[in-house]
Amino acid sequence: MADDETADKPAGKATKTAENVCAACHSRRSELEQTDPRNDYHDAYSLTLLEAPFYYADGQIRDEVYVWGSFLQSKMHGEGVTCSNCHNAHSLELRMDGNGLCVQCHTAQDFDTPRHHHHAPDSEGAQCVNCHMPATTYMGIDARRDHSLRIPRPEQSASIGAPNACNQCHQDQGPTWAQRSIEEWLAGSGDELGRHPFADAFYAADNGKPEAAPRLLEIATDDSMPAIARGSAILRHAPYHHQGSLEVLQQLLRDDEILVRLGALRSMETLPLNVRYHLLAPHLDETVMSLRIEMARLLSGIPLEQIEPDMANQLSGLYRDFHETADYNADMPGPQVVVGQFHASNRDYEAAEEAYKKALTLAPQHEGALLNLADLYRQIGKDTEGKALLERAVAAAPESATSHYALGLYFIRQKRYDQAAIELKAAADLALSSPRYAYAYALALENLGEEEEAIAYLEEWKEREGPRPQLDQTLHRLKEDSR
Ligand code: HEC
Ligand code: HEC
Ligand code: HEC
Ligand code: HEC
Ligand code: HEC
């Protein structure tokens, strides 16, 4: 099929496969196996969902994400538009220069006119891409255009700490000015600038606000939303799973969209092993490789001899795929840490130690490897051997709350509360919204006999971040005790 024929025929399986070919290189993902172009994308790669720090909470590009995860969010992708509608698949050049590219499909009379864009015709401010595909420059040189093809929403973007196209040019003005300008443009047309559908909930969840949870479940189950947004919503629900959301998970694990199933699986890490098994038992015959790998990780630790033989068979198959992928990634520290976790859940501590140590040979400062190896030593009664590892992690990444927290907990276990308080305060200061760190710091203060400080700290925290059940209980108890 000639390229020119595909231009105005967006839908169809053939074009989707072609897009997956581009996605193989132009996406942020981990690799599962030697790429065979006949494989589907999701058999060869596991895509990064819309997560910090790669994306802003509204899905705009933040770090290098290489196009595809952005484009998957767009209405245009939902309607079957694909890469080759804008890029010549062979030369990679744009099919047309300037606004001509967009008015292939969007009528020029409606959009390529000051009535729509309110800037002088042919000027920079009148270029469709400057408002709908704003550029971010990485490392000073690589300009990347955001392929989520979004409508600029200056105030909402600012409220979640994200940039917006208008103020990228109008740097002497603020988002409120830009928002008001758009509202003036729309006045009388009957249209208004609606809110972005998932930005608020994702931002709230990323800041540890439990009130986001019900909205996350709504997004995850709304099939008018892009699959990548639905998968990212259920992934963010991980800390909030409860009896009711297990039913939602059951439903999402049967969803047609691979990215919804992927997000559901990744969110299940917070569930106990028996619950995971209960939810996943009907799906052990999953065929998509990226999902099989997630399932193997989630189910490591299930005693094969205690389940039905055909289930055990299917589970062994998942484990086999997991190990093949791990072998394929043997020279990368991240995947080795995952292998270590897999063995640790299976209580094969020697193999786990070996995998973490291998990761550390590849990357001596790897935070995940250092923290996991220290945690392994704790599990097998060699807690003090972990101390040097935890200190190494803190030294390597002093800005990481996770490392300070792990070292702080170590000192708590050793009953060295003064040192614990220092580390836990550092963690709490680095992640101001995390109730977990605040709780741990208050506990260290209490153990130091500084109940008054603990109460004051928790009250200040609550004032700033809002109430949290566990913190409120602790606060209540501390106040009772001090009476
Ligand atoms: C085998 C990996 C691979 C595949 C498959 C691939 N690309 Fe690329 N592409 C690259 C690399 C590497 C670059 C250069 C780095 C960059 O700009 O991101 C690039 C650059 C580009 C550019 C920028 C070109 C320029 O002049 O700056 C475009 C546009 C592009 N690719 C589109 C596509 C499209 C559309 C497809 C599918 C038809 C595709 N690519 C398939 C690896 C690939
Ligand atoms: C609606 C049109 C459109 C679609 C659809 C589209 N692109 Fe682009 N793409 C652009 C424009 C415009 C640029 C900026 C080109 C420039 O400034 O030279 C661009 C730039 C790129 C670049 C260069 C680096 C960057 O991020 O700016 C890559 C790579 C790329 N596109 C890949 C893809 C892939 C892969 C797909 C499909 C998943 C795709 N594009 C779909 C319009 C589109
Ligand atoms: C191959 C056809 C095609 C091309 C080329 C195309 N679009 Fe679209 N675009 C669509 C379709 C289809 C939709 C979804 C239906 C709708 O909202 O009109 C859409 C929707 C949009 C939306 C609405 C997004 C939203 O969230 O509501 C914007 C903005 C947009 N396109 C901008 C652009 C820009 C900018 C370009 C050029 C870089 C472009 N389009 C090129 C077909 C196309
Ligand atoms: C100066 C910024 C700016 C430029 C340039 C611009 N747009 Fe828009 N566009 C907007 C804003 C703001 C909205 C949302 C308000 C509205 O619907 O008018 C929007 C909305 C849209 C929509 C969604 C309309 C709907 O009813 O959902 C499409 C499609 C679109 N633009 C296409 C284009 C195309 C094609 C071009 C280039 C010919 C273009 N825009 C140029 C700012 C711009
Ligand atoms: C690529 C750069 C660019 C982008 C993106 C852009 N503008 Fe502009 N804008 C300009 C320039 C340059 C002028 C002055 C000349 C003109 O009218 O084109 C201008 C003029 C204006 C004016 C009238 C003059 C003034 O400063 O009061 C308003 C209002 C305005 N822009 C609002 C917006 C809004 C709102 C957006 C986003 C939806 C936007 N612009 C996006 C470059 C841009």
Question: pLDDT tens-digit profile of 24-59?
Answer: 889 998 888 766 666 789 988 999 999 988 999 999
**Using a 6 Å cutoff on CB, does residue 212 contact ligand 3?**
no
Q: Give the bridge partners for 136, in sequence order.
A: 144
Q: What is the residue extent of each domain of the chain?
A: 3-144, 330-397, 419-483
The preferred substitution site among 105, 107, 148, 150 for testing ligand 3, maximizing ligand atoms within 8 Å of CB, is 105
Cβ of residue 94 lying under 6 Å from some atom of ligand 1: no
DSSP 8-state code for residue 135: E
pLDDT at residue 189, as a whole number: 87
The pLDDT of residue 9 is 38
CA torsion sign for 124, 125, 128, 131 is positive
Q: Which of 247, 250, 257, 252 is nearest to 234 (CA)?
A: 252
Nearest-CA residue for ligand 2 atom 20 is: 145
Written as one string, the DSSP assignment of 31-71 is E-SS--TTS-HHHHEEE--S-TTTB-TTS-B-S--TTHHHH
Q: Which residues contact 379 (CB under 8 A, 6 or more apart)?
A: 344, 349
Q: What is the mean pLDDT of residues 316-339?
A: 91
Q: Which amino acid, one-letter code, is at 154?
A: P
Supply the mean pLDDT for the chain. Answer: 92
Q: Which residues neighbour 282 within 8 Å (Cβ) at sequence distance 6 or greater?
A: none
Stretch (H or E) spanning 439: helix 435-447
Q: Please report, rounded to a whole number, the percentage of residues in the chain having pLDDT higher than 70.
A: 95
Helix (H) or strand (E) holding 30: strand 29-31
> What are the tens digits of pLDDT across the range 404-445?
999 999 999 999 999 999 999 999 999 998 899 999 999 999
Q: Is the pLDDT of residue 238 over 80?
A: yes
Q: H or E stretch including 310?
A: helix 309-328
> Which CATH architecture group holds 330-397?
Alpha Horseshoe (1.25)
CB atoms within 10 A of CB 248: 18
Distance 145 CA to ligand 2 centre (A): 7
Burial of residue 282 (number of CB atoms within 10 Å: 0-12, 13-18, 19+)? exposed
Q: Which of 130-144, 233-247, 286-300, 455-469 shows the lowest per-residue confidence on average (mean pLDDT)?
A: 130-144
Among 298, 345, 306, 304, which Cα is nearest to 322's?
Answer: 298
276 contacts 298 by C-beta, under 8 angstroms: yes
Residue 16 confidence (pLDDT): 59
Q: Give, for ligand 3, the residue of 75, 85, 166 to mutate: max count of ligand atoms closer than 8 Å to Cβ.
A: 75
Distance 200 CA to ligand 4 centre (A): 22
- Is the minimum distance from the CB of 119 to ligand 5 under 6 angstroms? yes
Give 87's DSSP letter.
B
pLDDT at 212: 95
Q: What is the largest CA-CA distance in the chain?
A: 82
* Whole-model pTM over 0.85: yes
Amino acid at 408: G
Closest CA to 335 of 349, 346, 347, 323: 323
Instruction: Count Cβ neighbours within 10 Å for each residue of 38-73 and write b for 16 or more, e otherwise.
Output: ebebbbbbbbbbbbeebbbbbbbbbeebbbbbbbbb
Q: How far apart are CA 229 and CA 201, in angstroms?
A: 11
Spatial distance between the Cα atoms of 286 and 317, rounded to a whole number of angstroms: 11
